[in-house]
A and B are shown apart, each in its own frame.
Chain A
């Protein structure tokens, strides 16, 4: 069974501080990992995919297969980063369509 765990429901940091949102997963195989973000009163949207190794809005995430983790990091948090963040995984190939989401972490960046 595939599972995504986000251990922190709430995370509060000050503007300019580093931020790390934790994500651990369980999957028998090589999954594809994603971070989705939902800003206040907006729809859920894709932030980044591990496979593209990109940095979006200053956020990066590295897939650690040994620790089965995909933590989201940003060196200097901004107030506009305050949002709900969801980690998600899918399979590959024929099973790559279905996403399994974690419960989410609400990030608050204080001024």
Chain B
């Protein structure tokens, strides 16, 4: 296990098309997160899974966005009817649930989405 993997690294799509990204977290980690980062901004929280349960969704996540983590392992993030404003780096991260502390995330390399 070499860390958090994201696929694809880059995606160029036409406006209106659907796209799906995949994230494979560190196997021992039961928490998984999706963040979005645009130019000049820090990462912004999108959604969070603990095992297979999606426990929080940001209001940034419109109805066109859906995320799943069906077996508590890998996760997918789908964007339907993409818009140019969806162009961003989509980051996945994972962490373990240990005690009450936040031990920090391990991030993937991200998927850069460009909507043309």
Show the binding face of A for B, using Cβ within 8 Å.
4, 9, 32, 34, 36, 43-46, 49, 51, 86, 88, 90, 92-93, 96-104
When distances are taken between beta carbons in the complex, the residues of chain A under 8 Å from B56 are 97-98
B44 at the interface (CB under 8 A from A): yes
**CB-CB under 8 A for A86 and B42, given A43-B107, A97-B48:** yes
B side interface size, CB within 8 A: 25
State in angstroms the CA–CA spacing of A45 and B105 once bound together.
Answer: 8
Contacts of A32 in B (CB 8 A): 101-102
Whether a CB of chain A sits under 8 angstroms from the CB of B31 is yes
B101→A101 contact, CB < 8 A: no
Contacts of B100 in A (CB 8 A): 92-93, 96
User: Provided the pairs A44-B107, A45-B107 are in contact, do residues A96 and B42 lie with their beta carbons within 8 angstroms?
Assistant: no
Partner of A96, one of B44, B101, B109: B101
Contact B101 A103 (CB under 8 A): no
CB distance from B88 to the nearest CB of A (A): 14
* 18 A–B pairs (Cβ distance < 8 Å), ordered by A: A4-B42, A9-B40, A32-B102, A43-B107, A45-B107, A49-B103, A86-B43, A92-B102, A96-B100, A96-B101, A97-B50, A97-B95, A97-B102, A98-B33, A98-B45, A99-B33, A100-B45, A103-B41
